[in-house]
A and B are shown apart, each in its own frame.
Chain A
Amino acid sequence: MAAPGTLRRFLATAWLITRKDITVEWRSREIIYTTVFFAASCILVFAFGFVKDGRPIDDVASAILWIAIAFSGTLALGRTFERERYNETLQALMLAPADRPAIYAGKLAGILLLMLAVEAVLVPLVALLFQAPLFRQPVLLVALLGSGTLGYAAVGTLFAAMLVRARSRDVLLPVLLYPITIPVIIAGVRGTAAAMAPDGGEMARAWVSMLVFFDVVFLTLSLWTFEAVMTE
């Protein structure tokens, strides 16, 4: 178990990085606008395809919500690290004597907050356009979105940081990220569908447990490997 001083230093560094990312994004609002616009466009296009005569195809809403989260998440990950690459500031972070896993945790928290902010727009939009009872079990919905987004962002942050110097990073990121996060997305889709069903609470809780398991595995592996993958 980590000493209290070590844990405090880890959290202080992570918060410093997260706060910096929030400040930078608050001033530019570049990623949030782009990501929300892209995700909302995705959902609108799907709505034209899957809603006929005002009636959506059964159970399609949860899949469309998670597809929009995954696509917009990839966009946010790419843009966040592109910003760090542009002025080589990621290299400056790597040069600091701070623990590199703490730097990873800080970047992850920033991306997580960004994705959750986008989801706050997407969920009502999906509920409206697909007449989906997404708010039937709000606590379970929050748990599903929180744990699913964490698992997705945990792997995504590691890969986006790893690929920051790769020439074809924009192509490689989804190619690497989607196959590994497919279990998270499937669990999110099935869990959200269960949370919308009248008697799906038990099943939704099981999917939340599954997502928490994925989170633990992905976070542990990412924290463990970040130092190695960031040293050339």
Chain B
Amino acid sequence: MPVRAPFDFTTLTVTDVSRHFGRRKALNRVTFTCEAGHIIGLLGPNGAGKSTLLSILATLASPTLGVVRYGGTTAREAGPAIRARLGALGHDLYLYPELTARENLRFFARLYEVDDAAGRVEAALTRAGLADRGDDLVSGFSRGMRQKLALERALLHGPRLVLLDEPFTGLDDAATQALVARLVALKQEGVIVLLTTHDLDVVDGLLDQVLVLQNGRLVTDERQPATGLRARFRRVLAGEAR
């Protein structure tokens, strides 16, 4: 489903990225690299800079200093084509409650100029377990149903980089397991999945890379982390170590 010039990448490189809001440094010289087929956990206490970093990676904000490269290309060089390879899901789900599930997916499929939009929409509804609720308004859905629909909306155009902000919030056990299975499938498809979460028990053993932010600084960049995330990062994630 290419949009304008085909554009793809297999690495995401963040180099010395800082973001200042006045005198406050939300991010301070953050540097890391991610590769295709990896699930990366971006961890840290509230206010550590996780959402700011996700906004920069999603091209919704510009870094004050430093550079983000998608493959070898910056967002400015790639133009709108870069956004055709990004999928994002925020804490708010980016869905129109006054539209049906099918209408929401169709709208975004057309906005992304997805090939075979109708087929992809039906496949997405099936994956979300909402094939028989496709014509129901989203306003009548539970949090879990909305979350599943929102994830499929974010993946509708086949993005290379998927940014998920607290994707496990409000999900019951069955929905959480379904989401974990979907993330594993994305990993096998060669997608870079970068997620923020406080549910460390859920992602323990799932992550290929752990990035820990504290006060805007990257304090940990660990590949193939051993299990026991919560015990190891307890002090940092609780915001106790300063």
- Measured between beta carbons, the chain A residues less than 8 angstroms from B94 are 87-89, 91-92, 95
Interface residues of A in 182-220 (CB under 8 A from B): none
Interface residues of A in 10-24 (CB under 8 A from B): 12-13, 16, 20, 23-24
Question: With A and B bound together, what is the CA distance between A99 and B3 in angstroms?
Answer: 11
Q: Is B47 an interface residue (CB 8 A)?
A: no
Interface residues of B in 91-117 (CB under 8 A from A): 92-99, 103, 107-108, 110-113
Question: Are B81 and A97 in touch, CB under 8 angstroms?
Answer: yes
- Measured between beta carbons, the chain B residues less than 8 angstroms from A9 are 113
Nearest opposing residue in chain A for B86, CB measure: A95
Question: Are A89 and B96 in touch, CB under 8 angstroms?
Answer: yes
Question: With A and B bound together, what is the CA distance between A88 and B153 in angstroms?
Answer: 14
Interface size on B, residues (CB 8 A): 32
Q: Pick the 5 closest A-B CB pairs, nearest first.
A: A92-B94, A88-B92, A232-B61, A97-B84, A97-B83
Question: Are A95 and B58 in touch, CB under 8 angstroms?
Answer: yes
Nearest opposing residue in chain B for A232, CB measure: B61
B136 CB, nearest partner CB in chain A, Å: 13
B141 CB, nearest partner CB in chain A, Å: 12
Q: Is A168 an interface residue (CB 8 A)?
A: no
A76 CB, nearest partner CB in chain B, Å: 16
Q: Is B4 an interface residue (CB 8 A)?
A: yes
- Measured between beta carbons, the chain B residues less than 8 angstroms from A88 are 90, 92-94
Nearest opposing residue in chain A for B159, CB measure: A95
Q: Is A96 an interface residue (CB 8 A)?
A: yes
A80 CB, nearest partner CB in chain B, Å: 13
Question: With A and B bound together, what is the CA distance between A98 and B110 in angstroms?
Answer: 10
Interface residues of A in 86-118 (CB under 8 A from B): 86-89, 91-99
Q: Is B62 an interface residue (CB 8 A)?
A: yes
Q: Is B170 an interface residue (CB 8 A)?
A: no
- Measured between beta carbons, the chain A residues less than 8 angstroms from B62 are 231-232
Nearest opposing residue in chain A for B138, CB measure: A87
Question: With A and B bound together, what is the CA distance between A178 and B93 in angstroms?
Answer: 34
Q: Is B228 an interface residue (CB 8 A)?
A: no
Q: Is A27 an interface residue (CB 8 A)?
A: yes
Nearest opposing residue in chain A for B2, CB measure: A97
Question: Are A232 and B55 in touch, CB under 8 angstroms?
Answer: yes
Question: Are B98 and A23 in touch, CB under 8 angstroms?
Answer: yes
Question: Are A27 and B111 in touch, CB under 8 angstroms?
Answer: no
Question: Are B4 and A89 in touch, CB under 8 angstroms?
Answer: no
Question: With A and B bound together, what is the CA distance between A91 and B55 in angstroms?
Answer: 10
Question: Are B95 and A87 in touch, CB under 8 angstroms?
Answer: yes
Question: With A and B bound together, what is the CA distance between A24 and B138 in angstroms?
Answer: 12
Question: With A and B bound together, what is the CA distance between A13 and B93 in angstroms?
Answer: 22
Question: With A and B bound together, what is the CA distance between A99 and B88 in angstroms?
Answer: 18
B126 CB, nearest partner CB in chain A, Å: 22
Question: With A and B bound together, what is the CA distance between A137 and B8 in angstroms?
Answer: 58
Question: Are B60 and A20 in touch, CB under 8 angstroms?
Answer: no
Contact with A20, one of B86, B99, B112 (Cβ below 8 angstroms): B99
Q: Is B205 an interface residue (CB 8 A)?
A: no
Nearest opposing residue in chain A for B7, CB measure: A97
